[in-house]
Structure 1
Amino acid sequence: MSSNQNPMVIVIGASAGGMAALKKLAAQFPKDFPAPIFIVTHMSADTTGEALVKVLNESSSLACVQAHDQQTFESGTIYLAPSDQHMLVAKGKIRITKGARENRSRPAIDPLFRSAAVAYGNGVIGVILTGYLDDGTSGMMAIKRCGGVCIAQDPEDAAYPDMPQSVIANVGADHCLPIAGMGALLSDLLRRELPERGEVPEDIMIEARIAERVLSDLPSVEALGDQVPYNCPDCGGVLWQIEEGDILRYRCHTGHAFTSSVLLTQQNERIEETLWVALRMFEERQNLLVTMSKNESKRATSSVSQRAKDSQVHIDRIRAMLKATDQDSYGEEAR
């Protein structure tokens, strides 16, 4: 993998705008690139990832393949995480798991980054590219804490700057630059001599094992943080709060994990879903009351009509809340 005594690996995370960014980066790798490259890009469960594999094979002199479980890896090859599964790096091989989603994603960037940090310590070079919100920030912090190198795309060069901005603000990038300069930088970094590896912090080990489904229980999450009065939006279980510097993250005992911003986004979506259900039920109630008023006695009709009017008040209030929710969501997307 590397001429250094310690082997080196490159892990890359991307989300929105990732295909164009990865195509541009992959085109810069020479044929004799001396390290394996592992890529996680957010994709929906109903996609195969074959389109990106094809794009990278056409644009790069390196072979790009979709990773599979227990696959051994070698330098000069790009390994892409398959859809709806996490890709993890172990010593000399790849693990593909159906672990719980992190930051609403599977594959997610953080599990790959943490697993690489545990397996290769200061031999890991992490690269975070364009994308929404902050998946990859916690994993990049794990890489830094284990002595690895953090590279962030210049936010002004990114189609969607949230992810690199989060890494820069919360982790501190060793290198922040446009994609056009990353190929040469990576080649230079792979030539450096590495010091002896240090110990992997216990909390990083625990979270890496959770992703492998080796650990996913109450003692594990209790060792990471404190229980808080919030529920996991994916499974309904209680959450534990994990503090990493200025970052707040949350985990449930089944393995789902969220940064505070992703958790807030999930809560907003659940609130909106609940409001739509409530609106439908109030409208159905009002329609039933109107139908009843046409078939009741005059005295009863007055009571039923009033109840229908009361329902309209609730309908108007819910519609106003949904309108406000739409405006907030639009503002968040614009940001």
Structure 2
Amino acid sequence: MTQHRDVVAVGASAGGVEALRSVVGGLSPDYPGALLVVLHIARSAPSALPAILDRSGPLPASAAADGEPLRPGHVYVAPSDHHLLLLDGHLRLTRGPAENGHRPAIDPLFRSVARAAGPRAAGVVLSGSRDDGASGLAAIAAQGGSTIVQDPDDALCPWMPRAAIARMTPDHVLPVAKIGALLSGMADMDLPQSHPHRDRMLDFEVAIADPESTVTTDQVAEPAGYGCPSCGGSLFQIESDPVPRFRCRVGHAWSPESLLDEQTIALEGALWVALRALEEKSALSRRMAGSWHSGTGKRLETVAEDTETAAATIRKLIERLGEPGTPA
């Protein structure tokens, strides 16, 4: 019995709307597969993407509904503030822990599709910032699925495609205008009958995307010695090739790049707090110095000068954090 590559997970971020329109516009009218789409969007805003994609290609597109069976010839879009997963042939929407600061995030979708569809799966990484999707695309490849990455030179924001290519060797790297036709051709090809192989870490990471799950990261990973930017809890290191990833006990997940970015944001916030405290101390010292005579007033003037020197150093550090080539 043959099977077909007919379950496609697509991830995009900054610059991704036009790329997604191009992909669905390139599908054949009789395309037999299903597309599951995650675009990074603000958690508080409703997504207009289903209506945009519905007008952009031959297949109907709609916001995914929890518990909905996966139907061929349809495009499903993750709604705001929910991860989109594929479990047992049905769509699952969850408010599980954010990954790389995003919900919906691309990696949870990709991992669930890898686990559910195995060789039938295809993963597509489009334009975007940071590196969401790289880990999930590797999971699809490990389960025998096909991997597709938009050519970074063709992407409005090339960082997500570059991260995917750095993480693994995709089966296809091509301009977005050619991806729809590629997916249509792949769906027509016969595949030998096979099934996903069991992967304990993949099972865990799919499970932890559901807040009803009772699994915790400390059951499968060792402490990393860092704090989670989302909740402040300890991070655990998940070994993966070529670089590790990190999760806290309750499941917030970070790639090294995203963790560094969040640490930079936290560091800048701490520096602004320190600067405010120093400037208030300086102002108070000078105000009090004018009310005291002789030695006490001079001592307070010295305190103010020393504090202003420290504040100037903090200001220079804040400026350096924003310089080109500095992580941000």
Query: TM-score scaled to structure 2, two decimals?
Result: 0.95
Match of 1:265 in 2: 261
Corresponding residue for residue 110 of structure 2: 113
Residue in structure 2 matched with residue 281 of structure 1 by the alignment: 277
Structure 1, gaps ≥5 residues long: none
SS at 1:190 equivalent:
helix
Q: Please, what is the CA RMSD of the aligned residues?
A: 1.7
Other-structure match for 1:36:
34
Tell me the equivalent position of 2:44.
46
Give the equivalent residue in structure 1 for 2:135: 138
Counterpart of 1:187 in structure 2 is 184
Distance 1:216 1:303, change over 3 A: farther
Measured at CA, do residues 143 and 221 of structure 1 come closer, stay the same or move farther in structure 2, by a change above 3 Å? Answer: farther
Structure 1 residues 88-117: Cα deviation after superposition (integer angstroms, max 9, x where no partner): 111221100000100111100000000111
**1:95 is matched with which residue?**
92
Say which SS state the counterpart of residue 34 (structure 1) adopts. Answer: coil
Q: Is the 8 A contact 1:121 1:200 kept in 2?
A: no
- Kept in 1, the 8 Å contact 2:114–2:196? The answer is no
Deviation at 1:173? Answer: 0.4
Residue range with higher mean Cα deviation, 162-171 or 132-141: 162-171
> Which residue of 2 is the match for residue 304 of structure 1?
300
AA matched with 1:56: L
Shift in Å at residue 307 of structure 1? 0.5
Q: CA deviation at 1:228?
A: 1.5
Q: Cα offset for 1:186?
A: 0.5
Tell me the percent identity. 37
Q: What CA distance in whole angstroms lies between the structure 2 residues aligned with 1:222 and 1:206? A: 9
Q: Contact between 1:128 and 1:152, CA under 8 Å: does it hold in 2? A: yes
- Specify whether residues 216 and 301 from structure 1 end up closer, same or farther in structure 2 by C-alpha distance, changes over 3 A only: farther
TM-score normalised by the chain length of structure 1: 0.93
Q: Which residue of 2 aligns with 1:80?
A: 77
Corresponding residue number in structure 2 for 1:321: 317
After TM superposition, the runs of 4+ consecutive aligned structure 1 residues lying more than 2 A away are 3-8, 213-218, 330-333
- 1:271/1:216 CA distance change after superposition, 3 Å: farther
Listed as ranges, the gaps of 5+ residues in structure 2 are none
Task: Report the number of matched residues.
Answer: 327
SS of equivalent to 1:281: helix
Whose RCO is larger (CA < 8 A, sep 6+)?
A: 2
263-272 vs 238-247, greater mean Cα deviation: 238-247
Q: Is the 8 A contact 2:5 2:122 kept in 1?
A: no
Q: Specify the alignment match of 2:251 in structure 1.
A: 255
Aligned partners of 1:216 and 1:167: how far apart in 2? 30
Q: CA deviation at 1:20?
A: 1.2
CA contact (8 A) 1:229 1:238 kept: yes
Is 1:164 the equivalent of 2:161?
yes
The C-alpha deviation readout for 1:107-142, integer Å capped at 9, x for no partner, is 000000001111111110100001111100110111
- Within 2, Cα distance between the matches of 1:214 and 1:169? 34
